[in-house]
Structure 1
Amino acid sequence: MERLRTQETLMARHKSPGPTDREMAILSVLWERGPSTVREIHETIKTDSETGYTTTLKLMQIMADKGLLSRKDAGRQHVYRPAVSQEKTQNQVVGDVLEKVFAGSAEKLVMRALSARKVSPEELKRIREMLDEMEGT
């Protein structure tokens, strides 16, 4: 019975629309470092959590099954790389949040994002430039 629940949990994870927080941590390392082994990823993220090596390995295997990572065998090591770009992943996550939390309202999403923390003058300038570009001015 316990094994069945574990399999159901793993299957549910495979159906999730976007990366989990732990998966995002791994993807962030890979986007920054480039192709890496499980050991290299584990050494980087273990400072952030109490995750064991085998947990990192299993999580990366699941991510490969989900299509988030690709794996290449290099002797006894497996080298992983993101299967999806950072931009595409960010677009997917933002799209999911937009639909689930803000009922599809980009205005509400942007207003909440801007009010959630102090925005630097440089960020505001880039936001204004992007809005001007979108308006065609």
Structure 2
Amino acid sequence: MNRLGELETQVMLRVWWLNRPSSVREVQEALLPDREPAYTTVMTVLDKLFRKGLLRRRLAGRAYLYEAVRSRDAYTAELMRADWVAGDSRAGALVHFVEGMTPEQIEALRDALRVALP
């Protein structure tokens, strides 16, 4: 799985935050005041994300509305899985990952394991 560029990441974060089918203009406005990209730049990035399979779109009048194909959590899990599978020592990578967690993150991991492995 390819990592997203900085602007692609910021656009995806806004699409997830909006949490509904959104126009280019709505995504552009959600980027403010942190960024001030041109409308055409946002349109290009949304189209790239659509072509990468991260967004779906539908025509509404003369404009497309974009929404995420999967949740931010599901996307993050997919990235983690891809990195983990690519590693030489999966157990070692997992140990290093857990060692770097805060107590709150470890408790969240325990909760997730209880849900996933009843």
Above 0.5 in TM-score? yes
Unaligned stretches of 5+ in structure 2? none
- In the alignment, the residues of structure 2 paired with residue 49 and residue 86 of structure 1 have an alpha-carbon distance, to the nearest angstrom, of 21
Q: For residue 78 of structure 2, what is the aligned residue in structure 1?
A: 92
- Specify which of 65, 68, 76 is matched with residue 54 of structure 2: 68
The answer to whether residue 4 in structure 2 is matched with residue 20 in structure 1 is: yes
Q: CA deviation at 1:94?
A: 0.9
Q: For residue 43 of structure 2, what is the aligned residue in structure 1?
A: 57
Q: CA deviation at 1:110?
A: 5.3
Structure in which a larger fraction of residues adopt helix: 1
Q: How does 1:29-40 map onto structure 2 within 5 Å?
A: 29-33=14-18, 34-40=20-26
The answer to whether residue 67 in structure 2 is matched with residue 81 in structure 1 is: yes
Equivalenced residue count is 116
Kindly provide the CA deviation profile for residues 96-116 of structure 1, in whole angstroms up to 9, marking residues without a partner as x. 22245x43525424534652x
Match of 1:18, SS state, is coil
Kindly provide the CA deviation profile for residues 18-44 of structure 1, in whole angstroms up to 9, marking residues without a partner as x. 350432322222222121111111111
- In the alignment, the residues of structure 1 paired with residue 62 and residue 117 of structure 2 have an alpha-carbon distance, to the nearest angstrom, of 53
Q: CA deviation at 1:64?
A: 1.4
Structure 1, 84-93 or 66-75: larger mean CA deviation:
84-93
Per the normalisation by structure 1, the TM-score is 0.64
Q: For residue 108 of structure 2, what is the aligned residue in structure 1?
A: 126
Identity %: 26
Task: Determine if contact 1:71/1:81 at 8 Å carries over to the other structure.
Answer: yes
Per the normalisation by structure 2, the TM-score is 0.72
Q: CA deviation at 1:131?
A: 4.6
Unaligned stretches of 5+ in structure 1? 1-16
Task: Determine if contact 2:11/2:45 at 8 Å carries over to the other structure.
Answer: no
Distance 1:59 1:32, change over 3 A: same
